[in-house]
Amino acid sequence: QVQLVQSGSELKKPGASVKVSCKASGYTFTTYPMNWVRQTPGQGLEWMGWINTNTRNPTYAQGFTGRFVFSLDTSVSTTYLEISSLKAEDTAVYFCARAPQLPGEFDYWGQGTLVTVSS
């Protein structure tokens, strides 16, 4: 069965970096793109962008350029989200989500990774 398993919670200081992983299983990893979605109490759910797991080409949504980087390691069927120069407002739960047919049509989600940025 399809599973997306994310790495555990992170506590980081402002200015640091964090790398969240999302390991896929149960399907051919390079067949479908992977999306990232952020959830904060104030902004709700926001689409951060997606990465083409075949070409490795990332697409970033408005507001998620510069400090946010999507990458992947096909040898372990894993997608990564790296956030640099962390700010308090980056505190959120980050989800990976597969959208095999159409953008926004997320059929499987990771369990979410809480990233807390605090001094």
Partner 1 sequence: QSVLTQPPSASGTPGQRVTISCSGSSSNIGSNYVYWYQQLPGTAPKVLIYRNNQRPSGVPDRFSGSKSGTSASLAISGLRSEDEADYYCVAWDDTLSGPVFGGGTKLTVL
Q: Give the footprint of partner 1 on this chain (CB under 8 A).
A: 43-47, 49, 61-62, 95, 97, 102-107, 109-112
Closest CA to 82 of 19, 14, 24: 19
Instruction: Decide: 79 and 71 in contact? Cβ < 8 Å.
Output: yes
Q: Could you tell me the smallest distance in angstroms from the CB atom of residue 58 to partner 1?
A: 13
Q: Which C-beta is closer to partner 1: that of 13 or that of 102?
A: 102
Q: Could you tell me the smallest distance in angstroms from the CB atom of residue 109 to partner 1?
A: 4
Closest CA to 36 of 98, 90, 83, 114: 98
Q: Which C-beta is closer to partner 1: that of 8 or that of 104?
A: 104
Q: Could you tell me the smallest distance in angstroms from the CB atom of residue 91 to partner 1?
A: 17
Q: How far apart are CA 51 and CA 72, in angstroms?
A: 8
Cα angle 26, 29, 31 (rounded to 5 degrees) comes to: 110
Q: Which C-beta is closer to partner 1: that of 25 or that of 74?
A: 25
Q: How far apart are CA 39 and CA 56, in angstroms?
A: 24
Q: Which C-beta is closer to partner 1: that of 46 or that of 82?
A: 46
Q: Could you tell me the smallest distance in angstroms from the CB atom of residue 116 to partner 1?
A: 16
